[in-house]
Structure 1
């Protein structure tokens, strides 16, 4: 091993850390032949005291779901019974060991993390993932998530790739460049042992650029005479192509039968030697056929088939004619057990097809369904796309293209999905197919940076579907309504009024009315005829969602819309019930990709109830999940929490980031939420001019419902405080149009507080008292504290000093207990003005818990086990235990039993 001192030092340090109980992940990046594999073999494979697990990505296997993950974890499945049941089920289904609904990819990731941790509990584990750029998409995503969540499991994952795969973003990177000049010369001398003209030597070194494999392989097969004559490689080829060409020269020199055997091996990435020989026998190739390839150092065939380098495999495959490739795949398909490995057989049959073949296309469709059931969306998309290519009938080809497009979109390949939709649209006219195309195009637009186009596309599709499928049409209208609320001011072809009017005219539900049907009827009425007409229907829908038996699909699809509808009509009881059910469903079903959205809805309810510590814990959980997955969900919950806490620095950091994402995604509702948060912050700080400006933006579009209503209350207060009574009265009129018909204690309490701010002194006191009383009967602890504050400020202006002191002290204590820092300071300022005071809060303990430690401690106090906490926070049980030991030390206790009664307050992080 020449040079590589830096790289070996990094690996040595990481190996030492994994032996000490820590974990980590590293991505080695370098050109083909740079020595990544050799470096891992040299430093890691012989490392004492660790267990090695290894997998190598293969280009042609990139469409088989979880194939690489199965290779890596297959020998560890004896530990499956140590995993929590949902995780064990997820892996068993993923690897085809049992049937069941396709598990969420993040649940599979958590299961793999736990499995690796269980294996490492016996001996530190080093997992080597070579040629990571060719991993199948599902395996790459899982391993990327796992790598980002490692903490204290004694697990080290080492990736090697030509360039960083997008699934591995966030994993630390170690470049593996070419060798320095001195070491490159030394290596070249070991290959070319005869005298070499200095000019020629410099040319070879320049071409190889220090890449070890190039220095070793480029001269092979070229005679001393050729080299002495002024050897120069073709400059038009990239280095990878030149190395591959050097292998190809050696392949061309082999007998025809040997080349065919190598082609069969190259066409089957499983490395199964028994399968290779069965296929070879079908083509009349005997055991001695491999001798020449062995002698040439290109391949080793034992229990498994191992090529000298991945470029040998690609050189073999590229050098073969299309006819020979089809022969090889046909032999492999015939040699593959149709019952044991139907998907690989179908893929080989597809590669063997010279033209359209309906039987093969049908097999691929069946493989796609199996892949989808295991969560392999990328594989399902590949199978369906190839099935469409092999379909002769234009109509069937178009239908299969739509199915392939949906799978591509679900797998995250939006560009390929768009291309397949365009292909489907070019098929024979068919109204139902056109509706399916429009539905997918609308959903893609809704979830893209062009979400403003989504409502119009979905609306058009819903109209097309009315003649074919009433249920699907009504669901699509509800999708369109949701998209219109999300897009708000950014809607392009159809805004909320147009969508709501069309949805209002949709065909009635056939048969018993589902909760989704009731919600569609209620929202379309609310958005066309106003709150007085729509609230009763929406309230019935919210009640139906609270009590009905929902399928998992219904719950995951509609509960967020139902949650939003509940707080849109000021129903905080419904909001609490539905947000709780949404989070519970996402957790229980393992729908971790939807969990951040569910948690965001629950955070809003916690903030309303003054449960800021609980909101902070969920915000931390969202950050944990999004960091693990690389998701771009805006940090709405963290921003709203910071605004209510009065943390100006944190709001200043988060707000621009969230606004950039919101603008890029075209989400008007998100813009309103950000501006509402800024209005809250500035009203709390007493910066009423800035609060007014933010509230004006937040209320500019009435079509971003819910958050707009809340912002109207902020606008009333800010306008009153800045002396703009006319603007305050206009905002109050808009607010009352929603609060009055809603008729809840929450809505009427907020309306009374707002009216008290606008009213004259004669009417104000009764309104203040009404607001405090009504909000006390709601779940709005923060809203009630604000009502107490504005009443205390009013008493101060009336020179009722004693009452003002008591009321303002009450307001201050409420805000301080909740953690609403800006409003607490505003109350303290008003209290000081009337000669009151409060006792200073005790300085926090030096042994402050981190947000993650606090989150884990609270869950442990509630009786959750380490695996349960790990599942919720996307950590291994061993990492949870590691954090708990730190918590015990900081609290000065000995374990869980003492934790139940420990006082966490002195140890809360600053944000708590």
Structure 2
């Protein structure tokens, strides 16, 4: 029977052990590995993690576990993982060093950027693994605090060549942030092993049919097999162990632990409860708390003899269900006493937040002193970038405050903190509590505004617009700056409502025009969108450009949701890329990830865009905060997989109708047109584009006009193409950027004077080549190549078509690649011949990015910061690039 290096027998786990042993071999060979163990409580995940740690000889091993009472303390689990590695902190770049030091409370500074914290942890892991491989083990990931979960997931998705293993165990079914990472499903033991394990704990003979029933009802869960039969007579066992539900099984196992705990002496039970409430296994702290409770070390012996807990250099429960059984079965009075003892035993200078948290749970009723401590904890949490922790502290402070006025103010502050933490669903109850207090006019307007913002965050359709407009009107005399911001939100909501808004956009714009807009970025954006709504495109253009210029000077990630579409609308792709990159650096929320994915998509980096959208989807599932589907629609359309794309488009249309979000209908029409243009189904593309262009949706309309020109030209509807070309020209001529003029030149080549077609195609390619818009450039080359082939200029056609085909293939734009391949074959260069030649020397999309940055003189840490990789991974990719290109240095790379 297999044993791990520590001598512990693992029955029926040969497959799982082989996977973990292979993981260790890979890490020792210089590559990183990530694995998520998933399974129900008691199935053996912790035992497998122990096996991994025991087998990791010659490696640095660091581990932690999520603890349910600790799940609201920012960075608590991450700090435990990183604590043994902090000797390497000084080797990180200064911005990352500062961010991680502030997040861990080692230094005082501005609230750290979440992306910088993630890059810092990635770099710390890489530095720690330079001498020996690093193995990071995280148990009970479902109970990680929010910031630790986000950062560890970020790191997991970017480990590559650092010799790091990150292995996490979770009870979750796979709908958390870890979704999409490599998984190993841990199931119950095979029947033979399950019977053998059951026999090892049965105290007497049991009928074989009863044994089989127990094995079947526990589904081979090792902990259930070991624990459920304890203390039961053969007669009791004959009646089986209850229903087959996994939840019921967990409850039965926990109840079994509760029975065993109840049989212990009183002081031993109190010791177990104290150890369960103290989350980090700090033995000296535990003994200090027990001393205050009048409990000596000898009280631990019965619990240790019962196999429930080990107290050595750390406190370790046999299983997390033992901890939860001790915690959940405690009387409220006993629990408060334990929290009080832990608070008294905790050094207020070294760990003020945990001390305050224990004091809060020890309080029997209102306690202004403790509430004040919790407020200070919230301030510290915000300074470390932990909005969720700040919200938890403020919410508990609200509960402990007796004064109605102060209580209402705290409830409002907690509501704002939860909204900032990306948890809008937690806000309404707190706003209801705030409404009960005597808020002043400014606070009531603020609460009304926040309620409307929550409505918009949860359902960005037409329902939010009127509420935001009412809040803005109320704020005009109380807080003009807040009023302007709220009018901007109302305008944005009306933009999202689009064709389903029933005049909301004009109502919001007319009301916003009555207030002084201000000269900051938000004020300029308000003025620009007001003009865009009431006066038209050209009059609004200078104001919108001024707003983007102001945003270049004044970084305000909170404006991204409108600023990114405006950058589209005025054809400024450099601003679009800059805004989305900055937003992602500020916070990796669903909105920032989605907007950045859109920029990368049109830059030709479809795989990178897909990775960000996967991350956004995981965050959406974890927080309930929906990611906007615009980038996902465009990605599906450009990939060209018809069934999958149409399923997403159709579901988006249903959502749009249900939520009153008309802009989604415009996006769906655009996506359908792209899909069918790529698949050469031009009549279907024409119908979709005409429907999509029926309303001038912000940042969608001009994209759809381009698709309409192409579809109408190919479908034999020249009048429709010419009319769409003219509508497009009204915008591109006013914008005047390379992106705008390139798009217009392409429309002119397709639907303008035939004599100027070649000149216009050449201008389109030249202008788009001067931008970062790799996907539109490839499409321009395709259209140019198709036109040249129809002119029977096959050599020239092949040049453009080859470039387009290589680009689409590298991007993963399969529909357009197939369309281009057919044209290339018709031009006399079958793509299968080209695919066979020199394929081994092709660079991946990520390698191409690294090669370009390295060729531009960027260092490995700088490249890593741009692409969210560790410097060691960058170096590993560079070696592969050199080998593929047959070169040996960056100097030669610049020449390529």
Which TM-score tier does this pair reach, normalised by the shorter chain? 0.7 to 0.9
Which residue, 575, 578, 591 being the options, matches 2:575?
Answer: 578
Which residue, 293, 300, 311 being the options, matches 2:310?
Answer: 300
Residue 325 of structure 2 is aligned to residue 324 of structure 1: no
Residue 270 of structure 2 is aligned to residue 260 of structure 1: yes
- The 3-state SS of whatever aligns with 1:13 is helix
Residue 692 of structure 2 is aligned to residue 692 of structure 1: no
* Change over 3 Å in CA distance of 1:286–1:133 after alignment to 2: same
Q: Describe the superposition over 1:808-833 as per-residue Cα deviations: whole angstroms up to 9, x where unpaired.
A: 99898667657788999999999999
Which residue, 845, 849, 860 being the options, matches 2:843?
Answer: 849
Which residue, 349, 354, 374 being the options, matches 1:344?
Answer: 354
Residue 376 of structure 2 is aligned to residue 383 of structure 1: no
Q: Which residue of 2 aligns with 1:461?
A: 471
Q: Which residue of 2 aligns with 1:359?
A: 369
The more displaced of 706-715 and 475-484 is 706-715
Q: Which residue of 2 aligns with 1:120?
A: 129
Q: Describe the superposition over 1:549-583 as per-residue Cα deviations: whole angstroms up to 9, x where unpaired.
A: 31x3x2x23366445435534xx5xx145235425
Q: Describe the superposition over 1:462-512 as per-residue Cα deviations: whole angstroms up to 9, x where unpaired.
A: 2222222111111222222233323423547x6322222222123453xxx
* Change over 3 Å in CA distance of 1:689–1:96 after alignment to 2: same
Residue 122 of structure 2 is aligned to residue 134 of structure 1: no
Q: Distance in 1 between matches of 2:504 and 2:654?
A: 17
Q: Which residue of 1 aligns with 2:260?
A: 250
Q: CA deviation at 1:656?
A: 5.0
Assess if the C-alpha contact under 8 Å between 1:748 and 1:774 holds in 2: yes
Assess if the C-alpha contact under 8 Å between 2:784 and 2:797 holds in 1: no
Please show how residues 448-847 of structure 1 align to structure 2 within 5 Å: 448-491=458-501, 495-509=504-518, 513-531=519-537, 533-546=539-552, 549-550=553-554, 552=555, 554=556, 556-558=557-559, 561-562=562-563, 564-569=565-570, 572=571, 575-579=572-576, 581-582=578-579, 585-586=582-583, 596=593, 599=596, 602=599, 615-617=603-605, 619-628=606-615, 630=618, 649=640, 654=645, 656-657=647-648, 660=651, 664=655, 668-669=662-663, 671-673=665-667, 675-676=669-670, 679=673, 689-702=683-696, 704-712=697-705, 714-715=707-708, 731=724, 734-735=727-728, 738=731, 845-847=838-840
Q: Describe the superposition over 1:567-608 as per-residue Cα deviations: whole angstroms up to 9, x where unpaired.
A: 534xx5xx145235425644776768766456457558xx6x
Q: Distance in 1 between matches of 2:853 and 2:524?
A: 37
Assess if the C-alpha contact under 8 Å between 2:567 and 2:576 holds in 1: no
Which residue, 861, 873, 878 being the options, matches 1:867?
Answer: 861
Which residue, 74, 95, 114 being the options, matches 1:65?
Answer: 74
Q: Which residue of 2 aligns with 1:18?
A: 27
Assess if the C-alpha contact under 8 Å between 2:336 and 2:363 holds in 1: yes
Q: Describe the superposition over 1:112-131 as per-residue Cα deviations: whole angstroms up to 9, x where unpaired.
A: 22222222222222222222
- Give me the TM-score of the superposition, normalised by structure 2: 0.83
Q: Distance in 2 between matches of 1:542 and 1:754?
A: 27
* Change over 3 Å in CA distance of 1:786–1:649 after alignment to 2: closer
- The 3-state SS of whatever aligns with 1:126 is strand
* Change over 3 Å in CA distance of 1:567–1:406 after alignment to 2: same
Q: Describe the superposition over 1:210-232 as per-residue Cα deviations: whole angstroms up to 9, x where unpaired.
A: 3333333344455xxx4467665
Please show how residues 370-449 of structure 1 align to structure 2 within 5 Å: 370-425=380-435, 427=437, 431-449=441-459
- The 3-state SS of whatever aligns with 2:194 is helix
Q: CA deviation at 1:200?
A: 6.6
Assess if the C-alpha contact under 8 Å between 1:750 and 1:775 holds in 2: no
- The 3-state SS of whatever aligns with 1:49 is coil
Q: CA deviation at 1:344?
A: 0.6
Q: Distance in 2 between matches of 1:745 and 1:35?
A: 60
Q: Distance in 2 between matches of 1:708 and 1:650?
A: 24
Unaligned 5+ segments in structure 2 are 1-8, 621-626, 809-814
Q: CA deviation at 1:877?
A: 2.4
* Change over 3 Å in CA distance of 1:295–1:883 after alignment to 2: same
Q: Describe the superposition over 1:746-779 as per-residue Cα deviations: whole angstroms up to 9, x where unpaired.
A: 87897798789888x8xx9799989988998898
Q: Distance in 1 between matches of 2:757 and 2:71?
A: 67
Look at both structures and tell me which one has the larger radius of gyration over its CA atoms.
1
Q: CA deviation at 1:688?
A: 5.2
CA RMSD of aligned residues (A): 4.5
- The 3-state SS of whatever aligns with 1:149 is coil
Q: CA deviation at 1:415?
A: 3.2
Q: CA deviation at 1:351?
A: 0.7
The more displaced of 269-278 and 708-717 is 708-717
Q: Describe the superposition over 1:378-435 as per-residue Cα deviations: whole angstroms up to 9, x where unpaired.
A: 3222222222222333444343333333333443444333443444445557543443
Q: Distance in 1 between matches of 2:830 and 2:210?
A: 86
Q: Distance in 2 between matches of 1:597 and 1:216?
A: 47
- The 3-state SS of whatever aligns with 1:187 is helix
Q: Distance in 2 between matches of 1:581 and 1:754?
A: 27
- The 3-state SS of whatever aligns with 2:157 is helix
Assess if the C-alpha contact under 8 Å between 2:424 and 2:458 holds in 1: no
Q: Distance in 1 between matches of 2:12 and 2:756?
A: 83
* Change over 3 Å in CA distance of 1:561–1:347 after alignment to 2: same
Q: Which residue of 1 aligns with 2:4?
A: none
Q: Distance in 1 between matches of 2:764 and 2:35?
A: 57
Q: CA deviation at 1:660?
A: 4.0
Q: Describe the superposition over 1:485-542 as per-residue Cα deviations: whole angstroms up to 9, x where unpaired.
A: 23423547x6322222222123453xxx223212212220221122354334334444
Q: Which residue of 2 aligns with 1:86?
A: 95
Q: Distance in 1 between matches of 2:316 and 2:781?
A: 76
Q: CA deviation at 1:856?
A: 2.0
Give the aligned length.
860
Q: Distance in 2 between matches of 1:94 and 1:859?
A: 30
Assess if the C-alpha contact under 8 Å between 2:733 and 2:741 holds in 1: yes
Q: Distance in 1 between matches of 2:49 and 2:799?
A: 60
- The 3-state SS of whatever aligns with 2:177 is helix
Assess if the C-alpha contact under 8 Å between 2:75 and 2:148 holds in 1: yes
Q: Distance in 1 between matches of 2:406 and 2:307?
A: 48
Q: Distance in 2 between matches of 1:784 and 1:162?
A: 46
The more displaced of 269-278 and 386-395 is 386-395
Q: Distance in 1 between matches of 2:787 and 2:23?
A: 64
Unaligned 5+ segments in structure 1 are 608-614, 798-803, 903-912
Residue 18 of structure 2 is aligned to residue 9 of structure 1: yes
Residue 34 of structure 2 is aligned to residue 37 of structure 1: no
Which residue, 141, 150, 156 being the options, matches 2:159?
Answer: 150
Q: Which residue of 2 aligns with 1:906?
A: none
Which residue, 887, 891, 896 being the options, matches 1:897?
Answer: 891
Q: Which residue of 2 aligns with 1:801?
A: none
* Change over 3 Å in CA distance of 1:854–1:634 after alignment to 2: farther
Q: Which residue of 2 aligns with 1:285?
A: 295
Q: Describe the superposition over 1:834-853 as per-residue Cα deviations: whole angstroms up to 9, x where unpaired.
A: xx999999775222222222
The more displaced of 845-854 and 187-196 is 187-196
Q: CA deviation at 1:270?
A: 2.1
